[in-house]
Amino acid sequence: MFRSSTISSTLLFLGTALLGLTMTKDSDHWAVLVTGSKGFTNYRHSADVCHAYHIMKNNGIPEEQIILMSYNDAVNAKENPIPGKLYNKPNGTDVYDGCKIDYEGDACNSKNFINVLKGNSSGIVGGNGKVLKSNENSKVFVYFVDHGAPGFIYFPDIENDKLYGDVINATLYEMYTTKMYKELVIYMEACYSGSLFEGILPESWNIYVMTAANPHEPSRAAYCHPQDYVGDIHMKTCLGDVFSVSWMEQLESVDVKALSLDEQFQIVKNNAIKARSSHVQQYGQIKVVGVQPVSNFVGVSDLPAPEQSLSFLEQVNFRTFKRTLKTSSIQYPTDEQIQKQFISTISAHDVHLHHLYTVLQLEGGPKISLDLGSDISDRMRTDHVFKQFNPMLVGVSKRLTQGDDGPTGTLPRNFDCLRKLVRAYESACGVLREYALKYVHLMVEACENLPSNDPLGDSFAQQLQNACEH
């Protein structure tokens, strides 16, 4: 009787202890969700990030361990035909309902973002002060959505708050050395987002990154007019982004415990290709982190790699990948489904222009005609500036020829020079807006090919200012 009672007590103690360990372990999952834009034409970014919030929460990540940053102006903007609500797909649900924002307005900035990642609450200004309190046992998921250029991404104060690749990677390295995570997963929705990680992020940091675009191309918005409807109302702006809605809508239709990060990458990549969008990329620790279930990062599981993922990295094409999925419970979209889903996509460079055209088409009026004319004039001026600046690079860079304004294969590494050229442009031409981001690769080309008599790029900065003034 004594032995039986002792054994029962011991088993009860061990069971309670194991349950406590499991609960502690399962709750050690964190998510940082950020949109760095503002303005109604960036409505889709606010909808993307609130949609992601619900996915994290519905998969079990505690509310206190989800940190959300958003300027939060689109939802109640005067242009919003359904104020107080956000929709991430046609006839979708209101993703703003229950979306809890920790840093909004001016508190949504790059300094706070960096301090959130570092767990540095003393460096926070504004917001509610929430930061990562993760450790070497934590699984951390970071989702960023906004505009980007080769070498940097934007925050709402677009003139004064750009986050460059050197700062991003230095922050990730500090997180690695201070043991802020066991594994870190980053999904980044931004044009040219691959430029922030390609050739920079090492496998040893145990970070897995999926980007919406390679280093040399923009990403695309989704559900734009005429797909921008909620009931019989047209929102007159894009509701989502191809990359973002691909990974989020997929997670809502599959068992997230049966799908690996690497498998999701292949599906999202294929969606983007079939939608004639960008080339989705992955970086960092793919072989160890990439084979883990998505639920380990968008939820609270801590499962080993799905069985079908163990040999996945040896497969060479999507056709083979499809055969693998057919042996599992995962349903992959057909080409017809993808093309039907993304019948109305727009380059991120052109969303503002598309919005103005849509309003003109649906409402008309002299004001919108003037706004449209002004936007077209600004774009023509931007084209003119960089057409003047481009010939100055010919002969300096072997990659450029006279009149070539297409993207190059050069990756940003001289970030100090890039900062200098961006400041030079903005001091003479004004804010570097979405459309002008297509020309930042020329600044990168200049900075990566500095002549020996100008190691700091001062001459290029002056030439860029001169181009603005002519």
pLDDT at 96: 99
**Angle of CA points 230, 33, 66, to nearest 5°:** 105
Which residues, including other chains, have CB under 8 Å from residue 8's CB and lie 6 or more apart? Answer: none
Strands (E), 16-72: 29-35, 66-69
pTM of the shown model: 0.89
The pLDDT tens digits for 221-231 are: 999 999 999 99
Arch. (CATH architecture) of 25-341: 3-Layer(aba) Sandwich (3.40)
Residue 446 has pLDDT above 60, yes or no: yes
- Taking CA atoms, 320 is separated from 116, 233, 311, 325, in Å, by 41, 42, 11, 9
Average pLDDT over residues 379-393: 87
**Rounded distance between C-alpha atoms, residue 104 and residue 350, angstroms:** 26
What share of the chain in percent tops pLDDT 90? 77
CA–CA separation, 222 vs 212, rounded Å?
13
Peptide bond into 407 cis (omega under 30): no
How buried is 409 (Cβ within 10 angstroms: 0-12 exposed, 13-18 middle, 19+ buried)?
Answer: exposed
The answer to whether the beta carbons of residues 221 and 254 sit under 8 Å apart is: no
**Which SS3 state, helix, strand or coil, does residue 348 take?**
helix
Does residue 327 have a pLDDT over 90? no
Averaged confidence pLDDT in the chain: 88
With beta carbons less than 8 A apart as the criterion, state whether 68 and 49 touch.
yes
Helix, strand, coil distribution of the chain in percent, nearest 5: 45, 15, 40
Q: pLDDT class for 343, splitting at 50, 70, 90?
A: confident
Q: pLDDT tens across 95-123, in order? A: 999 999 999 999 999 999 999 999 999 99
Residues with active-site annotation = 147, 191
pLDDT digits (tens, 9 = 90+) for 47-95: 999 999 999 999 999 999 999 999 999 999 999 999 999 999 999 999 9
Length of the chain, please? 470
For the chain, what is the radius of gyration of the CA atoms?
A: 24
Cα distance between residue 238 and residue 43, in whole Å: 7
Question: 64-81: b or e for each residue (b if 16 or more CB lie within 10 Å)?
Answer: ebbbbbbbbbbbeeeebe
Query: What is 365-468's CATH topology?
Result: Topoisomerase I; Chain A, domain 4 (1.10.132)
Spatial CB neighbours of 340, under 8 Å, sequence gap ≥ 6: none
Residues of the chain with CATH 3.40.50.1460: 25-341
| Most confident among 181-190, 255-264, 454-463 (mean pLDDT) | 181-190
How far CA 449 is from CA of 120, 416, 445, 458, 464, in Å, comes to 37, 14, 6, 13, 15
pLDDT score of 329:
55
Listed residue (191, 134, 144) closest to 168, CA to CA: 144
- Per-residue pLDDT tens over the stretch 394-412: 566 555 544 444 566 899 9
Residue ranges in 311-365 assigned as alpha helix (H) = 318-326, 335-341, 351-362
Which residue has tokens 């002549």? 451
Where, residue-wise, is CATH 1.10.132 in the chain? Answer: 365-468
How confident is residue 341, by pLDDT bands cut at 50, 70 and 90? confident
Q: What is the pLDDT of residue 400?
A: 56
